[in-house]
Amino acid sequence: MIPSVTVNWAAVEPILPELLLVGIGVLLIGLDLFAPRQRQVLPWLTVVGCLAALAMIVGSHSSTAFGGMFLADGFAVFFKSLCLAGVILTTLMSEHFRRIITMQQGEYYSLLVFSAVGMLMMASAGDLMVLYLGLELMALPVYALVGLHKKEKRTGEAAIKYFLMGGFASALLLFGMSLLYGLTGTTDIARIGELINTLHLTDNPALLAALALLLAGFCFKVAVAPFHLWTPDVYEGAPTVVTAFMSVGPKAAGFAIFGRVLFFGLPQLHDHWGPVLAVLALLTMAVGNITALCQHSLKRMLAYSAIAHAGYGLLGLLAGTAEGMAATMSYLGIYLFMNMGAFAILMLLATPDQPHESLEDCKGLAARSPLAAALMLIFLFSLTGIPPTAGFVGKFYLLKAALSAGYPLTVIGAVLFSAISAYFYLRVVRLMYMTEPQESQALTFSPGMVAVLGICLLGVIGLGVFPGSLLDWATGALSVM
C-alpha cells in the first residue's frame, strides 16, 4: 500500500513565485526545442510569467520558509519587484535588438528567467547558504548571456573575463562565510548578529577578516571600486540588451544582499564597515565619473556611469540607518528607469551591419528622430541629477542620509563628482542637438521599445514630480520585517 503524501502548502507558499519562474524557464526551453516555429511567443510568455510572479510577490504577506532560511518580508518584496521589473523591460527590448543583430538563440529567454530566480532568492536570503545559492544561480546564466552572441568576437572575451573574475569573487565570499560560521557556529544571518554580541566578537581579528572578505565579494557584484575592473570590458563586450539587464537586475540583487548582511545581520559592526564604505563610495564615484570623461564609446561611457552610480548607492547604505537604506532602495528603483531608458535609445541606433555605439553616432540625432533625442535628453538629465527628474530626488535623499549619519566629507565629494558627471552626460546632448547627423536613416520603434520607453519616461518624470511614493514604499518595506 502506497502511503499518502500530504503537501503543506503553507510551508511552500513563500517560494511559489520562484517555483513558477522555474516552470516558465523549463517551458521556454521545451518550446524552443520541440516547437521552433512558435519561438515568437517566447518573449511574451516570459513577460506574462514575470508579471504573474510579480503579482504573487506584491500580493503576498510577510512570511518565512525552511526555518527562517528564506524570508518573504517587505525588504525582499521591494528588491524582487525591482529585479522582475528589470527582466520585464529587458524582455520587451530584446526582440527588437536580437532581430537587428541576428542573435536568435532560443535559450536566451530561459537564461533570463533562471537568472531572475537567483536574484529573487538573493533578496529573500535569511541564511548564508541560501544567499550563496541564489548568487550562483543568478551569475551562471548571466555568464552565458554575456557570450551568447557568437558572431561577435568580443563577447567571448567578455564572458571569459566575467566568469573568471566572478569565480575569484565567489571564492572570497565563501572564505568570509566560512570564517563567520567558524566563529559563530551558524549560517543564519540574524543569529550571527546575535552571537557576535553574546560572544563579544566585535573586535575579533578573524571577524574583521571575515567582514573584509564579504565586503570584497559584495563590492564585485555591484561594481564598486577597486573591484570594478571587469565592468567596462564586460559591459562593452556583451550584447547591449544584456548589458542593460546587468546594469539593473544583478546590481539590485547585489545591493539586496549588501543590505541584508550589513544592515540586518551586522549592524553592531557599523563602526567598522561604515567608514570603509565611505572611502569605497568616494573612490567608486571618482573612478566612474573621471574615467567616463575620456570615453569615446557611448556604451563604455554608460559602463563607467554604472560604476559611479554604484558609489552613489553606497551613500545610503554606509549611513547604517533606516533612512539611509530606504534612500538606497528608492535610488535603485529610479536608476532602473533612467538607465534602461538610456540603453533603449542606444539599441535603437544599432543596425544589422553596425552597432553604432560610439559618441559620434549620436551626432544630429535630434534631426533624425526628435522623439528619441528628447527621450535621451530626459534620461541623461536624470542620470546627471538635474531637477525635476527623478535622479535629482534620488541623489538628494542619499546625500541627506549620509550627511545625517555624520559623513560630510563623503557628501561634499559626491556633490563634486556629480558635477563632473554633467560634462560627459551633457556632451551627448550637445552632439544630438548641435551637430549635423552622420546618417539620414530614421529610427524604427518596435512595440516593445515603445512600451519600454513609455514606462521609463513615466518613471523618471513621475518619480521626479511625486518623489514620496517610492521612498514611502521603501520605508514601509523596512518596517515590515
Determine if residue 91 is left, alpha or beta; phi over 0 gives left, psi from -120 to 50 gives alpha, anything else beta: alpha
pLDDT the model gives residue 47? 93
Rounded to 5, what percent of the chain is helix, strand, coil? 80, 0, 20
- DSSP code of residue 81: H
The residues spanned by each domain of the chain are 266-481
pLDDT the model gives residue 264? 87
Which residues of the chain carry a pLDDT beneath 70?
1-10, 102-105, 440, 480-481
As given in the structure block, the three cell numbers for residue 475 are 520605508
pLDDT the model gives residue 244? 93
pLDDT the model gives residue 3? 54
pLDDT the model gives residue 354? 76
pLDDT the model gives residue 225? 87
pLDDT the model gives residue 110? 92
pLDDT the model gives residue 197? 86
pLDDT the model gives residue 10? 67
d(CA 66, CA 111): 26
pLDDT the model gives residue 107? 85
* Residue whose C-alpha cell is 535628453: 377
pLDDT the model gives residue 6? 53
Burial class (CB in 10 A: 0-12, 13-18, 19+), 451: middle
User: Is the pTM of the predicted complex or chain greater than 0.85?
Assistant: yes
